[in-house]
Structure 1
Amino acid sequence: MVKRIISLAMISLVASSAFAGGYRISMQGQRQLAMGHTGVAVIGNAETMFFNPAASVYLEDRFNFSAGMTALVADTKFQNETYNWENSTQNIGTPFYVYGSAKITDWLTAGLAVYSPYGSAVEWDRDWQGSHLVNNIDLKAIYFQPTIAVRIGDHFSFGGGPIYVNGGVEFNRNLSRSMTDESGNRTDVTIEAKGVHAWGYTAGFLVSLDEHFRMGLNYRSEIIMKADEGKAKFNDVPAFGKDMFVDGGIKASMPLPAELTVGASYEFNKWLFAFDYNRTYWRAYDALVIEFDNPAIGTSVNPRNYKDSSTYRLGMQYAANDKWDFRLGWYYDESPVQDGYFAPETPRNDSRAYTGGLTYTFANKFAVDFVVSYLHFSETNNSYDYYMEDGNPVSFGGTYLSSVFAAGLGLSYSF
């Protein structure tokens, strides 16, 4: 029982569980977000460094830069009518990006992308009904991606490069549904892992069939995040547990799954239409294995059993004139979480997003981008069935309803 109690506290270590469950933030470029976060077959600005580095070699100017930040507000409501439980949480995130590219020759471009696809927090009321699963979690991760792109003739290009990830997580939950110290304070544990890092890569290609129609593909490899120097700190431990619940270290490794995106775009007159299909290979995350430095706890295996998931994206752009561009988008995102594995640190289900934005370009090729998006998660009645107490599984569930509203500002410059 002790092993299961503590190991469940690690369910979000290195942020993988929360990444999968809805905090993989699709906000890596304001222009492309306004078009439903399409972009694998779009030649726009330096945002191509993320969506498909192969497209960067077609950018018109020699030097291209883009930077932006988004403020998002995520709301989740929880209800269990059987026990008359109600709770809610509202959390704020600020993902950002900085991209730059330089054309070395007519057929070769190099660049660097820095972005934060994972950077959110979830905080429920202290000691709420699901506090044995999570009280709060704070995630931070930054990606560094140097790339090169090569053009072969007028119709084909390819590009890619390594990805370096650096991040951390702080996570808190109560040790059980009822344990307290002698003063009645709930016993909890805080897990902290800093400087967690790993390597992966990205690769893509772009085909321009003619001046109007393009097709693209981009692949991001699976990245194995390893925490070798994590820490566990126990608070308000009762006297009978002080020999067992001793502060110490932990080790764990978890996959950030591979992603494949294919898409097409069609441009004519002042209009641009784009479609992207994303496939995320979450099946790699079947279980979380944790090693505790404390030999009394040992190693624990926690089933997650995620499934591969798909996202379907549509976007359009209208270039009104040399100054103004207007965009709209939509996407449908499938959840990788299967029934019975739905935990409150990942309160999400299948979702639909509605996006829109505009760009104003000044005479010196300096542009300001603005975007808004609304993400609505389907209401779900689900549970997490793998919490163990006294050797028996204890289910925690109810009805979850979540949404995310975001507004972002971006700046672009080329010369």
Structure 2
Amino acid sequence: MNNRKILPLSVILSFALSSSAAFASAFQSFEQNASDLGDAYSGIAATADDASTEFSNPAGLTRIKHPEVAVSTVLVDASSDFTATGATSQGNNILNTAASVKDEPLGLNPLPAFHYATPITDRLFFGFGLTVPFGLSTDYDKDNAARYFATRSKLMTLNIGPSLAWKIIEPLSIGAGFDVQYLKANLDQQVDVGGLLDPLTPGTSRNMDATIKNTADDWGVGYHLGLLYQITQKTRMGFLFRSPVHYRLEGKSKVTYYNTSSGDEDTLEAQGLRNSNIDANMSLPAYAVLSLVHDFNREWAAMSSVSYTRWSRFQDLTLRFHSNAPPVTIKENFHNTLRYALGANYRLNDRWLFRFGTAYDNSPTNNHWRTVRLPDADRIWWSLGLQYKPMKQLAVDVGYSYIYIKNGNIYQSEPNSTTLSGYYDNNYANLFGLQLNWTFI
């Protein structure tokens, strides 16, 4: 077996499992290639210009004339300033005792992808991809005022997706495939063990925390469908549907105590605050994309997309502990979202293509339900990119997007009189993309 052929796939696989930050609404990712980053993914279900169409619309595989590989990564550099304006634990004000009321929970994350496409016959086509369709990464200091709601949150996915496409008649193609998807979640936070112990031992006061690290994972299965229709010689329409994926997450909850006596730890463990197995049910949403591409002439083309994501299925996440600890429910109360995108391409010659685009990305949350684990808000994209073909077999795409993210307020509370209020401002992201396309001619 040729190890040189296996190496790129193994690199993509390990790279994908280290990636976590998506940058469409909530923790969805449209960044499954870098070629469409330059026009804000404004025609993703209809462009079908390279092997990445196997993910964005499998019916577009019928436009691939020769075997082709596309490898890409989009680097997400996100920034957001969090400021706490109020915080209590067990009913006690902790805002003045917290070491920090400000934090920057976002950071730098890559989103890699691998795509392969090939014709089998004149009418039948095959595609395969490794992608990261959903991801989340936020991180607060362990002494921040938000620590009793979240410190580190990380959600990673890896999608393995084969597809087939069939050209029914010359203007109409359909495609379908299934998705085998891995999900891993890390949900960490601090616990005010001093506040838990004080009522049990009147006359004493303890100022101490414990760290809880919750880790769980699972595999799920879904499917995807696509349609591509050439309306006229210059206009085509594409449609993509991707199904929800359901998980039964299982893993571990690990508790680490600091500066507590063995007697205190025995007391806390008797209440369920100890290492244990955990499980949770989680579903990633279905979504659909409708795109239109129109070629005005050889130089200019315009594209647009409307995307719908059924986030209303994601209302909460309940962690169940296999101990006597009560379950913990993280309320999200998401609503369904729409994303609108417009773009244009200008082809200078056979070697150079320039891309431009903008998009409005609706958030599934709002000021009433925003959480520190997912401080999302509406976004506006401004994008540009280019493609260079140094030879017939090779195309290099680069793209850039600046994303403006609206400011947002937050108020969270727990039944044990633990609360947090604050706001997020100076929110934005820079996305840098690079893609290599190789055609086997």
Q: Please say whether Structure 1 and Structure 2 have the same fold, judged by a TM-score greater than 0.5.
A: yes
Pair 1:253–1:301, CA change in 2 (3 A): same
1:189 aligns with 2:212: yes
1:108 aligns with 2:135: no
Q: 2:168 matched to which residue of 1?
A: 152
Q: 1:226 matched to which residue of 2?
A: 248
In the TM superposition, what is the alpha-carbon distance from 1:18 to its structure 2 partner?
8.8
Matched-pair contact (CA < 8 Å) for 1:17–1:346:
no
Pair 1:217–1:306, CA change in 2 (3 A): same
| Percentage of identical aligned residues | 22
What residue identity is the alignment partner of 2:210?
T
Q: Give the paired residue count.
A: 394
Match of 2:431 among 399, 406, 413: 406
Q: 1:257 matched to which residue of 2?
A: 285
1:282 aligns with 2:311: yes
1:136 aligns with 2:152: yes
Matched-pair contact (CA < 8 Å) for 1:139–1:170:
yes
Looking at structure 2, the residues matched to 344 and 18 of structure 1 have their Cα atoms a distance apart, in angstroms, of 16
What do the CA deviations read for 1:32-63 (whole angstroms, capped 9, x no partner)? 1111113111131112111111011122x221
Q: 1:273 matched to which residue of 2?
A: 302
In the TM superposition, what is the alpha-carbon distance from 1:217 to its structure 2 partner?
0.9
What residue identity is the alignment partner of 2:248?
K
Matched-pair contact (CA < 8 Å) for 1:16–1:254:
no
Pair 1:177–1:127, CA change in 2 (3 A): farther
What residue identity is the alignment partner of 1:187?
A
Q: Which segments of 5 or more consecutive residues in structure 1 lack a partner in the other structure?
A: 1-14
**SS of match in other structure, 1:105:** coil
Pair 1:20–1:203, CA change in 2 (3 A): same
Deviates more, 1:33-42 or 1:231-240: 231-240
Match of 1:127 among 136, 143, 164: 143
Q: 1:8 matched to which residue of 2?
A: none
Looking at structure 2, the residues matched to 379 and 312 of structure 1 have their Cα atoms a distance apart, in angstroms, of 20
Pair 1:289–1:225, CA change in 2 (3 A): same
Q: 1:308 matched to which residue of 2?
A: 336
Matched-pair contact (CA < 8 Å) for 2:165–2:173:
yes
**SS of match in other structure, 1:95:** strand
What do the CA deviations read for 1:50-89 (whole angstroms, capped 9, x no partner)? 1111011122x22121111122111110124566943223
Q: 1:49 matched to which residue of 2?
A: 54
Instruction: Report matched runs for 1:347-358 at 5 Å.
Output: 347-358=375-386
What do the CA deviations read for 1:303-355 (whole angstroms, capped 9, x no partner)? 32211011111121111101111101111111101332211111120011111
Q: 2:322 matched to which residue of 1?
A: 293
In the TM superposition, what is the alpha-carbon distance from 1:119 to its structure 2 partner?
4.2
Matched-pair contact (CA < 8 Å) for 1:36–1:314:
yes
**SS of match in other structure, 2:368:** coil
Match of 2:372 among 344, 348, 358: 344
Q: 1:241 matched to which residue of 2?
A: 268
Pair 1:304–1:381, CA change in 2 (3 A): closer
Looking at structure 2, the residues matched to 99 and 355 of structure 1 have their Cα atoms a distance apart, in angstroms, of 23
What do the CA deviations read for 1:127-161 (whole angstroms, capped 9, x no partner)? 20101111112332111110000011111011010
Pair 1:138–1:359, CA change in 2 (3 A): same
What residue identity is the alignment partner of 1:235?
T
Q: 1:76 matched to which residue of 2?
A: 80
Match of 2:182 among 166, 182, 193: 166
Indicate the RMSD between aligned Cα atoms, in angstroms: 2.5
Pair 1:16–1:44, CA change in 2 (3 A): closer
Q: 2:201 matched to which residue of 1?
A: none
1:67 aligns with 2:71: yes
1:321 aligns with 2:346: no
**SS of match in other structure, 1:242:** helix
Matched-pair contact (CA < 8 Å) for 1:115–1:142:
yes
In the TM superposition, what is the alpha-carbon distance from 1:260 to its structure 2 partner?
1.0
Looking at structure 2, the residues matched to 360 and 62 of structure 1 have their Cα atoms a distance apart, in angstroms, of 19
Matched-pair contact (CA < 8 Å) for 1:94–1:120:
no
Looking at structure 2, the residues matched to 18 and 313 of structure 1 have their Cα atoms a distance apart, in angstroms, of 17
Looking at structure 1, the residues matched to 398 and 24 of structure 2 have their Cα atoms a distance apart, in angstroms, of 27
**SS of match in other structure, 1:49:** helix
Looking at structure 2, the residues matched to 341 and 281 of structure 1 have their Cα atoms a distance apart, in angstroms, of 17
Pair 1:336–1:20, CA change in 2 (3 A): farther
In the TM superposition, what is the alpha-carbon distance from 1:221 to its structure 2 partner?
0.5
More strand per residue: 1 or 2?
1
Matched-pair contact (CA < 8 Å) for 1:34–1:355:
yes
Looking at structure 2, the residues matched to 147 and 348 of structure 1 have their Cα atoms a distance apart, in angstroms, of 32
Match of 1:387 among 414, 417, 421: 414
Match of 1:199 among 221, 226, 241: 221
